[in-house]
Each structure stands twice: as structure tokens, then as C-alpha cells.
Amino acid sequence: MASFRPRRASHVFADEVLHKAHNAVERCFNRLKQFRAIATRFDKLVTRYKAGVQLASLLLWLREPTKDRLSDSS
């Protein structure tokens, strides 16, 4: 009987900073895929698709809770 072996090796990140950056990019792509036109590539022209991605990114950025970036208190 053969012993159990996983089909693919687990991804091990040695650099914590690189792992955090990779995770942030992956989460961003997952959020963008929630927009149906982007996930299905509804717009076939590159310029329109790029504009859709930029618009979706802007909407995600505006939905993000504020972290008191422009606080009047000094």
C-alpha cells in the first residue's frame, strides 16, 4: 500500500514582509472579482476594461473605513 503524499507542496513564505504584501494583493484581486463586469471580462476593449477596473478600485477605496487620515485635531 502506498503512503499518503500531498499532490502539491505547501507554500511556505520565509519573508514575513513579502507574505504580507502578497496577501494584500490577493485580497485586492478577490475584492475586484466581486464586480461582475470585471470578473467576467464583460468589456472586451482594453481601455473600457481598464476604466472599469479603475472605477471598481475607486469604489472599494471609498468604501474603506476611514483611519482618521484627514483629522482636524492636532
Question: What radius of gyration do the chain's Cα atoms show?
Answer: 19
- pLDDT tens column, 8-44: 666 666 788 888 899 999 999 999 999 998 889 888 8
Length of the chain: 74
Looking at residue 22, its amino acid is H
**Structure confidence at residue 30 (pLDDT):** 93
**Structure confidence at residue 3 (pLDDT):** 65
**Structure confidence at residue 43 (pLDDT):** 86
Nearest in space to 37 (alpha carbons), one of 21, 54, 24? 54
Choose between 67 and 21: higher pLDDT. 21
**Structure confidence at residue 15 (pLDDT):** 82
